[in-house]
Structure formats: C-alpha cells, structure tokens
Amino acid sequence: MERNPADQANQQTQSSQQPSQSSQTSEEAVKLALLASLINNINLATAKSDPIYVIAASIGLVASYLSKVAALQEAEEQQIAPGVTTFANELKLISSSLGLTANLIGYWALLIEVNLRAQGIQAPQTAAISGNAAVNSALL
C-alpha cells in the first residue's frame, strides 16, 4: 500500500514536534531541582531537620547528574560531524561536569556535618574574613 504524500508530510511534522531526548532529560532535571529547593525552603522555615536536608541534597545531586546526562545527549544530537559538536555544547559539558563535581563536594560536606552533629560534636568554625581584608584581596 502506497502512502499519500500528505500523510508523509503530516508524519514528519508530528515527529518534529516531539521533544528530543535531551529536552526530556533536562525537564526532569529541572523538576527535581525545583523539588529539592522546595524541600529545603520548607525545612528551613519549619523543622530544620538534618535528615530532610540530606534527602533534599540527594535529590539535588540526582538533578545535577541528569543535567550532565542532558548535556551529553544534546551534544550527540547536535553533532556537526562525527565526534564534533558546537562550542556552546562543549561549554555546557564543561559547566555540567563542574556543577556535578561541586554538588558532590557539597553533599560530602553535608554528610560530614550531619554525622558530626549526630555525635554531638560541634563542627570547627573558620574565622570570617574582615571587610578590609576582603576588599584588599579583591583588589590584588
């Protein structure tokens, strides 16, 4: 059975309207990041419970990982040539990797602080930078 050219054009239009894999992954990452932020803000305003902070940070870590996955998917989708992507996509790959690394370090620090607090140990405090020292170091 032969296809009508109008049907083929309609199918192509429908397939072009479907969101790409990277868009779907990005959307899920944004939803998770929003959820983590809401949990943090509600916890901060009410209970200030450490386990809830850890749950929110875990959700944020997954969101950061999904952002990295979405950047990889987008780079594959928008290849100029095999293995070659745009400069903007390369910047997205770099920034998503740095963001994931920063989130992992922050998550690790949160786990250490929660563990110390659970044992009744006060975490060591660092000295704050005075205003003049901050201005002087910024000028250097």
* DSSP letter string, 28-95: HHHHHHHHHHHHHHHHHHTT--HHHHHHHHHHHHHHHHHHHHHHHHHHHHT-SBTTB--HHHHHHHHH
Q: What is the pLDDT of residue 36?
A: 96
Tell me: the pLDDT tens digits for 32-58? 999 999 999 999 999 889 999 999 999
Cβ–Cβ under 8 Å, residues 56 and 41: no
Tell me: the pLDDT tens digits for 66-99? 999 999 999 999 888 888 889 999 999 999 999 9
Q: What is the pLDDT of residue 140?
A: 46
Q: What Cα–Cα distance (Å) separates residue 68 from each residue in 48, 53, 72, 91, 136? A: 30, 23, 6, 12, 37
Task: Please count the residues of the chain.
Answer: 140
Interval 12-19 mean pLDDT: 61
Residue at token pair 């660092």: 126
Q: What is the pLDDT of residue 125?
A: 74
Computed on alpha carbons and rounded to an integer, the radius of gyration of the chain in Å comes to 23
Residue 11: inside a domain, yes or no?
no
Q: What is the pLDDT of residue 138?
A: 45
Residue 11 pLDDT more than 70? no
Range of the domain at 115: 20-120
Q: What angle do CA 81, 89, 102 make, to 5 degrees?
A: 140
Tell me: the pLDDT tens digits for 105-140? 999 999 999 999 889 887 677 766 655 555 444 444
Residue 132: inside a domain, yes or no?
no
- The model's pTM: 0.74
Residue 15: inside a domain, yes or no?
no
Residue 14: inside a domain, yes or no?
no
Domain count, the chain: 1
Residue 54: inside a domain, yes or no?
yes
Residue 9 pLDDT more than 80? no
Residue 17 pLDDT more than 60? yes
Residue 78: inside a domain, yes or no?
yes
